[in-house]
Amino acid sequence: LQFTEEKLGQAEKTELDAHFENLLARADCTKNWTEKILRQTEVLLQPNPSARVEEFLYEKLDRKVPSRVTNGELLAQYMTEAANDFGPGTPYGKTLIKVGETQRRLGAAEREFIRSASLNFLTPLRNFLEGDWRTISKERRILQNRRLDLDACKARLKKAKAAEAKAAVT
């Protein structure tokens, strides 16, 4: 009732401290930017949407995500197979072996980068959103309910005093 009356402009609302309101606004801003950065980083690390969904499902089911071959490693594998077909002694075969080995190392470095970024960058962001932000939201709801209770009590007290004053006059 108090909430509805406040929204309709029929009841007074106790204002929170300006510093506290500023902290709440900063917390909301932090949450929004954290979500955006987390999503975009996931897109950067895994551009394939179906692979992201698969990884998300494995994560939610607390299962280990199967190891994927990176595009660089796959290219390296193709180059090595082609080199073996052409013959490792031919100039083209030698070149394919060298480039394939370089691509394999690049693919392994990419895999390590993805693992490291996920562990050291994405995990703390997720921990904030799933832990700290939930706590902030819960405490905010509790504070809002307490404020509504306080305002309702103030309104009842005001009505009781008005009734008491009216009864004293008559």
pLDDT, tens digit, 9 for 90 and up, residues 132-163? 999 999 999 999 899 888 888 888 888 898 88
Domain contains 74: yes
Query: What does the DSSP 8-state code read for residue 64?
Result: P
Give the other-Cβ count within 10 Å of 2's Cβ. Answer: 20
Domain contains 75: yes
**pLDDT tens, position by position, 80-96:** 999 999 999 999 999 99
Residue 130: give the domain boundaries: 15-148
> Looking at the 3D structure of the chain, how many domains does it have?
1
The average pLDDT across 97-120 equals 94
Return the closest-CA partner of residue 83 out of 96, 72, 73, 65. 96
Domain contains 169: no
Domain contains 163: no
Has residue 2 got a pLDDT over 80? no
Does the reported pTM lie above 0.85? no
Domain contains 1: no
How far the first Cα of the chain sits from its last, in Å, is 31
Please report, for the domain that includes residue 140, its CATH number. 1.20.1270.60
